Each structure stands twice: as structure tokens, then as C-alpha cells.
């Protein structure tokens, strides 16, 4: 059952838009790393993990990706709750800031869902969501520092996410690293994960 | 900060620490890490029961009451959700997911304290 979750991903439509030479390098370095955990658990605890009967590369929902998705989920929940609270109770105070909060919440929701889904279409959705998130935290973070008068109200991204231990700044960077390492179409023939 | 917060502070940090070490040692989620997360849930239940008793006894919540209960309800959903998520694929990374529970519960408990007082 659990295995099915990992392998029921549709085959990636081998997106051709990435160079294969550099791709191969990246893959060969990250494969042993990504596998350490599952191999370990397989030998000690359970026979689960990447079984590789279909292309395990078509999913981001494995290994460290699952931690990333979990953190994104927490931010999706908290940003949604916060934006909902701000808009319902004091929207007229700062419509721009609170709409920004709502926008951030949507970005986190999209990122969470798309990272958990397999296939190269969801990969692109993830990429867009994470890039928007990165731009958002950088722009809002910078504006909240340089123009605190215009951005006096807190959002998740204010002061580069200082109110959230700077995780909002770290998250898109880790997200991009993870997406790069799991990008579709980088699996060489014959390599078993 | 009241006793409920400090209970969650201790239990949450212990749980996060245990899960973090287990993850660093490349272990998959096991009874110890899962039970430590269950302890966080238990601590939140204590907070829930205690808060209900205090409200019935007539103690007022200074902030928005529904915000307080919203935080508490959300916090109580985290441990089961994290355990579910972590046993779907039992790798060392799942222990880091479990490690996030204690710290998150701690932050939420701090916010709940702020709302209450």
C-alpha cells in the first residue's frame, strides 16, 4: 500500500528542456545521499521506500522531500489561518498587507500540493510556486525594511520572515535545491535508484 | 507563561530532540520517536482539558477566544498528521518530520499563552 503511493506516479514525460550532461552529474551525486535513509530503514525496519519499479524520479514526495512538504504544509496552514483571521477581523486596517498574506497562503498551499504530486506537470507547478515564493519573500522582506511606513503590518514575508525564524526565506531555497535534484528527465537508462 | 506552556516546552523540546537525534543517526521512525510525539499530543490534551476547566470556572480569555481554540485544535491535529505522514515512508527524513512537531507545538503554545493573558 505504501509502496503503491511511491510508485503509482505516472511515467514522467521525459521533459527535454534540461541538459543531460550536467543532469547526470547532479543525479549521480544526489542518488547515494537520497538513498541512505531508505536503504537504512529497509534493512532495519521495513521493506518500504523507493522500490523503483516505475521511475522514482517522477516524484518529489520521497526522502527529504517529505520533510519539505511537511514544513510547507505547516506554513500553508498557518498562513491561511493568519490571512483568514486578518481579513475577517481587520481587513480595512491594511488591505494590501492582508491581501499579501492571503496571496502567500495560496502560494504555500499550491507549493505543498504540487510537491506532493508526481509527474512533470506538477513539477512545473512546484517550480513556479517556489519561485513566486522566493520573489515574494525577497520583495516583501526588502520593502518592509526600506519602506516600513508603507508596510507596517505583518505578513509571513515581512522582514524576510523574521517572525517565523526566517524559515520563509530558507524554504524556497531548499525547495529549489530539491526541485533541481529531482527534476524530470534526468534518469539515465539502466540506473536503478 | 503558565504551567501548560512549560509542560509543552519540556515535552516538545524532548520530543524534537529525540526525533532529531534519531534522524541524524539515520534511523527510521520507531516506537521511541513516535511515542515521544504521542507525548506531545498528550501534553496538548492536558492543555485542552485544563483550559476547558478554567473557562467553566469562569476565568476569562483576554484575547479572541475562538483564536485560542483554533490554535489548540490545530496544534492537536499536528502529531497525528505527522505520525501518519512519517509512517507512509519510513526513512530517516520522517524522523525530521516528527522532530518538527514538538517545536511547532511549542511555538503554538506560546502564542496560545499570549492570547489567553
Which chain B residue's Cα is nearest to A38? B91
HEC letters along A119-184: CHHHHHHHHHHHHHHHHHHHHHHHHHHHCCCCCCCCCCCHHHHHHHCCHHHHHHHHHHHHHHHCCC
* Predicted pLDDT at A191: 40
Question: In this complex, is the C-beta atom of A49 within 8 Å of any C-beta atom belonging to chain B?
Answer: yes
* Predicted pLDDT at A27: 41
Which chain A residue's Cα is nearest to B67? A85
The reply to whether B29 falls in a domain is no
Global pTM exceeds 0.90: no
A76 with A41, same domain: the answer is: no
Which chain B residue's Cα is nearest to A163? B107
Question: What is the mean pLDDT of each successive set of 10 residues along chain A, which is 193 residues long?
Answer: 42 42 41 40 40 59 88 91 86 83 92 89 91 92 81 79 87 91 66 43
Say which DSSP state A45 is in: T
Q: Which of B89, B114, B115 to mutate to test the interface with A (most CBs of A within 10 A)?
A: B89
Written as nine digits, the cell of B25 is: 543517526
Q: Hey, are the CB atoms on B89 and A81 less than 8 Å from each other?
A: no
Q: Hey, are the CB atoms on B89 and A74 less than 8 Å from each other?
A: no
Q: What is the ipTM, given to two decimal places?
A: 0.87
The model's pLDDT over B2-21, given as tens digits with 9 standing for 90+, comes to 888 999 999 999 999 999 99
The reply to whether A115 falls in a domain is yes
* Predicted pLDDT at A56: 59
Written as nine digits, the cell of A156 is: 509571513
* Predicted pLDDT at A131: 94
Determine the average pLDDT of the residues in B60-79: 89
The model's pLDDT over B86-104, given as tens digits with 9 standing for 90+, comes to 888 888 899 999 999 999 9
The total domain count for chain A is 2
Sign for the pseudo-dihedral over CA of A132, A135, A137, A143: negative
Q: How many CB atoms neighbour CB A143 within 10 A? A: 15
* Predicted pLDDT at A31: 40
Shortest CA distance to B7 belongs to which of B75, B81, B69, B82? B75
Domain enclosing residue A26, as ranges: 2-10+18-57
The reply to whether A85 falls in a domain is yes
* Predicted pLDDT at A117: 86
Domain enclosing residue B76, as ranges: 3-24+34-116
* Predicted pLDDT at A30: 41
A89 with A73, same domain: the answer is: yes
The total domain count for chain B is 1
Written as nine digits, the cell of A120 is: 512533470
Residue with cell string 477581523: A89
* Predicted pLDDT at B81: 93
The reply to whether A68 falls in a domain is yes
Confidence of residue B27 (pLDDT cuts 50, 70, 90): confident
The model's pLDDT over B31-68, given as tens digits with 9 standing for 90+, comes to 899 999 999 999 999 999 999 999 999 888 888 888 88
* Predicted pLDDT at B1: 79
The reply to whether A192 falls in a domain is no
Amino acid at each position: 500500500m505504501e509502496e503503491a503511493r511511491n510508485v503509482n506516479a505516472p511515467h514522467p514525460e521525459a521533459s527535454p528542456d534540461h541538459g543531460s550532461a550536467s543532469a547526470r552529474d547532479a543525479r549521480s551525486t544526489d542518488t547515494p545521499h537520497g538513498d541512505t535513509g531508505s536503504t537504512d530503514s529497509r534493512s532495519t525496519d521495513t521493506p518500504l521506500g523507493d522500490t523503483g519499479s516505475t521511475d522514482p524520479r517522477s516524484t518529489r514526495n520521497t526522502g527529504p522531500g517529505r520533510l519539505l512538504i511537511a514544513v510547507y504544509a505547516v506554513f500553508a496552514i498557518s498562513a491561511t489561518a493568519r490571512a483568514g483571521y486578518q481579513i475577517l477581523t481587520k481587513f480595512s486596517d491594511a488591505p494590501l498587507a492582508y491581501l499579501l498574506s492571503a496571496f502567500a497562503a495560496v502560494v504555500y498551499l499550491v507549493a505543498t500540493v504540487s510537491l506532493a504530486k508526481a509527474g512533470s506537470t506538477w513539477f512545473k507547478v512546484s517550480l513556479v510556486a517556489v519561485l513566486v515564493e522566493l520573489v515574494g519573500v525577497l520583495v516583501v522582506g526588502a520593502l518592509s525594511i526600506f519602506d516600513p511606513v508603507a508596510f507596517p503590518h505583518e505578513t509571513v514575508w515581512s522582514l524576510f520572515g523574521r517572525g517565523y525564524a526566517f524559515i520563509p526565506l530558507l524554504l524556497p531555497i531548499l525547495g529549489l535545491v530539491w526541485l533541481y535534484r529531482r527534476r524530470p528527465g534526468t534518469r539515465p537508462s539502466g540506473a536503478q535508484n | 507563561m503558565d504551567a501548560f506552556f512549560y509542560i509543552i516546552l519540556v515535552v516538545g523540546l524532548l520530543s524534537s530532540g529525540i526525533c532529531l537525534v534519531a534522524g541524524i543517526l539515520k534511523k527510521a521512525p520507531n516506537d521511541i520517536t513516535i511515542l515521544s510525539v504521542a507525548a506531545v499530543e498528550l501534553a496538548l490534551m492536558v492543555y485542552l482539558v485544563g483550559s476547558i476547566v478554567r473557562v467553566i470556572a469562569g476565568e476569562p480569555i483576554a484575547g479572541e477566544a475562538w483564536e485560542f481554540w483554533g490554535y489548540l485544535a490545530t496544534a492537536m491535529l499536528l502529531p497525528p498528521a505527522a505520525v501518519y505522514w512519517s509512517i507512509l515512508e519510513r526513512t530517516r527524513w520522517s524522523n525530521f518530520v516528527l522532530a518538527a512537531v514538538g517545536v511547532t507545538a511549542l511555538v503554538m503554545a506560546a502564542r496560545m499563552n499570549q492570547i489567553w493573558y
